[in-house]
Amino acid sequence: MIYLDNAATTPVKDEVLKSMLPYFKEVYSNPSAVYSFAGKAGIAVENARRSVAELIGARADEIYFTSGGSESDNWAIKSVAETMSSSGRGKHIITSSIEHHAVLNTCRYLETKGYEVTYIGVDKDGIVSVGEIASAIRSDTVLISVMTANNEVGTIEPIEEIGELAHSRGIVFHTDAVQSYGHIPLYVNEMNIDMLSASAHKFGGPKGVGFLYVKRDVKIHSFIHGGAQERGRRAGTYNVPGIVGMGKASELCAVSMSDDIKKEIKLREHLIDRVLSEIEGVYVNGARQKRLPGNINFYIENVEGQSLLILLDQKGICVSSGSACTSGSLDPSHVLKAMGQNDERARGSVRITLSSDTTLEQIDYVADELKRIVNQLRAK
């Protein structure tokens, strides 16, 4: 099997799994208890919190553990909205039209509760205009939420500039960094980020655990009510093995990120060059350069995307047509539609996402099979 759907999820790294195992059977204590056995688990949780924070230049006490990116997005957006509206600041939110559904559907939910949301469009490469966001700001705008990089086409957004704009107007800035954390350098203070969401399974950690970074001076409501975990802001027994694994995955990313970026870009460009030169009627969706290192999104003329995926799967190649969270939906990609593509192009696109484990031999095999299968489908 050649796995090239790393934007959907990544395999747990060997070192990560090894770090987690003791916390299932040996150090199985609840870190919230008072006896010394519990303290061992508590120390492991706090060590992981520091590792997660260090990768983005944050303080450990600004990291709150969650069940993953969707919870983190929900918590950030709903809590800021509720906190600001209850204080009389306003009920207007700005986001982009290409956000993950964890953001879009949260905003749509808030619209049913009397909040107003402005959805900013993007250009043909999927890039949000800072100028359009500036024009959309109102006196009652309380939150701007724009993803760091898109999960389908990999386009990296001008986050630092958007954050600077938000701060100049006294507005909280949140970014969904689920696709970016651990893959590209992120520094919350330098990039003017107030809140950031991430999920462990996107960077070599386990599923079911993530975090929300909240800058110390940002006031938000609790999301899950119950016990006093996470300094009273997020109740629930700690997923100690998951948290430990996420901390270890963060440490590994800190060491390997620079080399991983170089390798993935080299492989990405090799595949793009081969496909564009050897198969007619193929185009790259999204920015060619300003994109995540391991992301490729092709539009292939006169080929139906789902048929292509099935035939590639028969050759042991795992790729996708977009977000795994919308798998099975017959609707064309909302991201490609927002970029100005018609339904045919949106349905004829395929996403290929690499990892540091991907090899040149695998890339060449994929290019060969893609060429053969496209010719086969077009001949029908």
Catalytic residues: 325
Structure tokens at 253: 């990313």
CA distance 50 to 201: 18
SS3 130: helix
Sign of torsion over alpha carbons 273, 275, 280, 283: negative
Contact 355, 183 (CB under 8 A): no
SS3 204: coil
Surface-to-core class of residue 332, CB atoms within 10 Å of its CB (0-12 exposed, 13-18 middle, 19+ buried): buried
CA distance 143 to 133: 11
Contact 68, 201 (CB under 8 A): yes
Q: Tell me how far apart the terminal alpha carbons of the chain are, to the nearest angstrom.
A: 27
SS3 320: strand
CA distance 167 to 108: 25
Which ranges in the chain belong to alpha helices (H)? Answer: 14-20, 22-25, 36-54, 69-86, 101-111, 130-136, 159-168, 240-278, 305-314, 334-338, 343-347, 360-379
